[in-house]
Structures are given as structure tokens and as C-alpha cells.
Amino acid sequence: MFTYTANPARVVFGSGTLAVVPDELQRLGASRVLLVAGKSAAEAADRTADALGPLLAARFGEPTMHTPVEVTERALALVVEHSVDCVVAIGGGSATGLAKALALRTDIPQVIVPTTYAGSEMTPVVGQTENGRKTTQSSPKVLPEVVVYDVDLTLGLPVPTSLASGVNAMAHAVEALYSAEANPIVDQLALAAIRLLAAALPRIAADPSDADARTDALRAAWLAGSCLGSVGMGLHHKLCHTLGGSFGLPHAETHTIVLPHAMAYNAPNAREAMRRIAEALGAPDAPTAVFDLLASLPVPRSLAEIGLAEGDLAKAAELATAAPYPNPRELTRDGIEELLRHAWSGTRPVPAEGTPPDLRRLTQEVVDSFAGTPDPRLRELLSELVRTLHSYVVRTDLTQEEWEYAIGFLTRTGQISSDTRQEFILLSDTLGVSSVVDVLTNSRTPDTTPSAVLGPFYVEGPPETEQGADLAEGLPGTPLWTDVQVTEPDGTPVPDAVVDVWQSNEDGFYDVQLPDLDGPVLRARFRTDAEGRLRFWTIVPSAYPIPDDGPVGQMLTAVERHPFRAPHVHFMIAKPGYRTLVTQLFVRGGDYLDSDTVFGVKDGLIVDFAERTGPAPDGREPWRRLEFTFRVTRA
């Protein structure tokens, strides 16, 4: 059971969306607007003022960090003097905070246009500073009615401000994951925000005009702000409010410096949250991963850099622990002072005991070694293979002994493979890889017959055979008269298509598995007639085990999986100008349809092998009849 609070707000997101502000005010029925914007958003505010025309009642240009009460009172005087009925705030957390403080006192509607990644526009929380002390409170009255996100307004945001603001947003997401009110919905928002920011912030640092990176960061800010608005925060936010309100430290920069150290303090009591954060960052340890991310960016790394005196650490710890509040780990004055001392000096947190080494640099070195590959597709395939393999090794904490066994397994797989036995295909089949590739490659045209895996027993160039022939040639089994047609999706016949057919015998063996056989058996190549039809005799297929006397069989035994395939007949249909179809038809009611060991069964390929009464046209009985229409598409 969990509780999720979705704070209602209308959101407009895009590029150039500042232009919709007058429309949103009209929707709210506003007629006398107070426009709040500081110097950093002056140009956007001027444009908005021009667009508002007679709707603009007053402007306030001095929103202040940490929302001092005396500043709010000056703005409130304008609200009263000009009979303001709506406030539009353009800028960062200071402008948003002032609008909220006004709404707290008057319940005035707000339209917020964020130009940073603070995220407070998505919360019902307002922080205010009075007599050197910052306090926060939550009220539905301070939740903005409309939030307009305009990516264009963030393009000119200075890189240091962009990065610090982005880390401020990341802090909302991090603390949401170990909040006392955490729930699965907010968790997903938080992890998405962390992933987006971790990828976007380095790109913004490298190219401030990267609109895609700015878009990702702004979306992440929205998500992170929603987290902040839905669940309570903990130690990190308490510390930052204390340091900002009592010592005048800049808000976003303080968040940037404190975050990894607050995470390290809480890590022993928030292991699952830290594991998920580390996974989102592709690192073994969450606090050090965040620290290393920040160390790679042009942002302050220590509280000393932004003006906190070492002599203030004890007082800050005392203030931060003066009143209890929810947090994963017990708050002690000594523990918080030690945390602040690490943040003051900017030292890297110590990873939790037992944390594997951070191998991201090694992985990147290997990926970088492919940078000169002339073929871009080959470069992509090798790079992603390395990333995936390295990630698997780290996530499973693979041992040397396990790695050596895996190498031996692959070696034995290669050694047993031959022209008539493809053990690597069997391995791919039984791990489901063949079916995944098949679906990705061949299942993007839903109006055609589903494809299926090729399997390890196809042989190039089967013998050309006349229609009506008997592939079984006297082998034991129930005779099967096969009457199929090949058409285009609209039913147009496809004549002269080459159709290869192959299947196992009644005992479950293919001809290539029986060295005593002279020539191909239950294997042939036909051509469709003028109507796209194909007719031949064979026998009803039976379920059979894949070869299990090699490494793949050992794997199936170890995991207690059976080796059986559901009964089927293989078809490969090809003609110049058409997409080649490789597929299988499965016997309805046959064994293992729901547990085929190579995961090859698809509902559209399970068909009736209908029993017939009385003798067949050539006198044989009992017998069955298979009718099916294959639909292929032009290349």
C-alpha cells in the first residue's frame, strides 16, 4: 500500500512557449497582472510586458534569493496598490519563491515561467527567510495554477548557473527515493530525472547552445520538482536551507556541494535507494558517482569556495539538528558536523565497504579504441557490446573462476560445431537471442505471415523437387498432404517462388543427424505454380529434442529446462523483389507449444493438421491435410 499525491497544475512545455502567457492569463480570467522578474530574466520580462499590454498592472524587479520577508512585503504593497489579480513570475527559484509567498498571503493565481532547473514551480512548498532563519511550509495555495516551460529561455542561462541549478533538481529526485513517503510512482519520476540530468549536464557544459540537452534538463527539472511536491525531503534539503538562510550561501551552489556528502551520510540506511541511483548512473556507488559527475563539471566543489567559514561548521550542525525531521539515518550533531566538514573541504566520499571498483573509465577506454572504425555500424555494434558485457560483469560481480568457466563453455561450443551441427545457433536459440533478432528483423509488417527462427539444421541448396512428390519416401509416420499458397498481403498470387521445406523424421532427427542416410530426406526445394500454390506429401511432424549431448545440453540440464521443440515443419520462401520469409508451421494441439525450448512458437503459426477419414487419393490411411496461405511482401 502507498499514497501518492499528484499536485494539480497546467503545464505548457516546448520551444517559444513564452508567447502563450497572455492566452493562459485569459484562460484564468486575469485582468490586472503583477510581473515578477529579476535582472537575469529582464529581456524575457520585457517581451512579456509588451505582449500583456493593458493586462499589465505593475512590475517588480527585485526578487531575492531565499525569499526574505521584507522583500515579499514590498511586492505585496504593489499587489494591494494596483488591485492585482494574478502574478506572472519569470526566472529562477527567487522569482518563483516570491510569487508563492504572495500567493500564501493572498491566494492569488500564479503563472510561473522557469528559466532555471530549480523545480520549485511544481511544488506546494514555499521557503521564507526572516531574522536570518529560513523556514518552509506547505500549502495548496502556493501551488502555481500554470507552469510554462520554454526551452529557449534556458539557452542563455550561464553554464555555472545551469549546472548548479540542475544539481539542485537532481537533489530533489535523490531525496525522494529515500523519503519516508516514497512510493513506486514518484520513484520512477525520480530515477528518470536522475538519468536525464546525468546525461544532460555534461552536454550543457560542453555546448551551452545544445537545445536537446537543455530540453532534457528542463524535463528532468519538471520531474524532479514533481517529486519534491509529492513527498517529503530529508537531511540534504534541511542542510541547504540552514546554510542558505543562516549563512547567506547561494542556494543552487550549496545544493551542488552538499548533495554527495548528504548521500554518503544516509547511504548505510538507504541501501536500496542508493543501489537504484547507482544503477541509473551506471556506477557501483551512488554518492561517489554523483561526486565524480560534479567534479567533471565547472561547479564549486567545497563550501569554503562559496564563503562558509570553517568556524561556522559547528553552528551549522547545531542549527540543522535543532528540530527533528524524517531522515533515513539518525541525525547527530557530531555526525552532521563531520558531514559538513567533508563538504567544506570538498573531499571525495568514501565508497561503502564492499563496493566494487568503478570501472567506467576502463569501459570508456575500450569504447574509445573503436573511434577510428571506418564502418559506423561496426563501431556502434562493438561499442554497445563492450558496454553491455562490462555492465554484466560488474552487475553480477563475476568471479575469475566463473569467467574461466564461461570461456571454456564457449570453447567447447565451438569445438563441437561442424557443417552439420551448429552448436552456437543452438545456444542462441535456447537463450532466446535468435527469436529476438527474428522479431526485430522480420516482424515489422503485421499484414504478412509471422517469421520464425531458421534453426541449426537448414542446409543450403536442397534438391529441386517436382510438386506432388513425397518427401518421406516410405519413412514411418502419419502421411500429410500439404496444400499451401503464397500470396501478397492483398491476396495476389506469387508464382515461381522458391520454397525450401525441411523437417525431422518421426523419431525427431533431421537427415544431417543420421550419417547412414544416403542423400537428403524430408528436405526439398519447390517452386510455386502460376496460382502461387504448392502441393506435396510428407509426414506429420512430431516433437523432438534438440541435440543435448554438448554444452547447450549441459546448460539446459543445469537450469532444469527440457530440450524439446514443439512439432513443426520449416518453410523458407524467396523470390527476387520480395522479402524472404523464414518460418515454421506448428501442429495445433502438439506438445510443448507453450514451452518450446527455442522460444520459436507464435500464435499465427499454430495451424490445423486436420485428420481425414477414409483413404487418401492415393489410398493411404489414416492421413492428415495441411492448408495454409503464406503472405509475403515486396522488398
Of 510, 592, 624, 631, which residue is the catalytic one? 510
Q: Label residue 408 exposed, middle or buried (CB < 10 Å: 0-12, 13-18, 19+).
A: exposed
Of 172, 276, 568, 624, which residue is the catalytic one? 568
Name the E strands within 488-550.
Answer: 498-502, 523-527, 533-539, 544-545
Compute φ and ψ for 631, nearest 5 degrees: -110, 120
The reply to whether 27 belongs to the active site is no
CA–CA distance, 608 with 617 (Å, rounded to integer):
20
Which residue type does 61 have? Answer: G
CA–CA distance, 246 with 242 (Å, rounded to integer):
6
The reply to whether 510 belongs to the active site is yes
CA–CA distance, 238 with 199 (Å, rounded to integer):
27
53 DSSP 8-state letter: G
Q: Are 64 and 101 in contact (CB under 8 A)?
A: no
Residue 528 corresponds to which cell in the numbers above?
A: 510455386
Residue given cell 568503478 in the structure block: 358
Residue length of the chain: 635
Of 276, 570, 624, 631, which residue is the catalytic one? 570
* DSSP labels, 230-268: HS---HHHHHHHHHHHHH---HHHHHHHHHHHHHHHHGG
CA–CA distance, 222 with 399 (Å, rounded to integer):
42
What torsion, rounded to 10 degrees, do the Cα atoms 609, 612, 618, 620 define? 90
CA–CA distance, 222 with 216 (Å, rounded to integer):
10
Name the E strands within 504-631.
Answer: 523-527, 533-539, 544-545, 564-565, 568-574, 581-587, 606-607, 609-612, 623-631
CA–CA distance, 458 with 152 (Å, rounded to integer):
57
Q: Are 429 and 598 in contact (CB under 8 A)?
A: yes
CA–CA distance, 278 with 258 (Å, rounded to integer):
18
The upper half-sphere exposure of residue 427, i.e. CA atoms within 13 Å in the direction of its Cβ, equals: 17
Radius of gyration of the chain (CA): 34
Residues near 71 by beta carbon (within 8 Å), at least 6 away in sequence: 62, 63, 64, 98
Residue 277 corresponds to which cell in the numbers above?
A: 541511483
CA–CA distance, 413 with 427 (Å, rounded to integer):
8
Of 523, 565, 624, 631, which residue is the catalytic one? 565
Q: Across-strand partners of 27? A: none
Cα torsion 494, 496, 502, 505: sign: positive
CA–CA distance, 176 with 189 (Å, rounded to integer):
9
The reply to whether 565 belongs to the active site is yes
The reply to whether 4 belongs to the active site is no
Residues near 494 by beta carbon (within 8 Å), at least 6 away in sequence: 486, 487, 488, 528, 532, 575, 578, 632
Of 117, 544, 592, 631, which residue is the catalytic one? 544
**Catalytic residue set:** 510, 544, 565, 568, 570
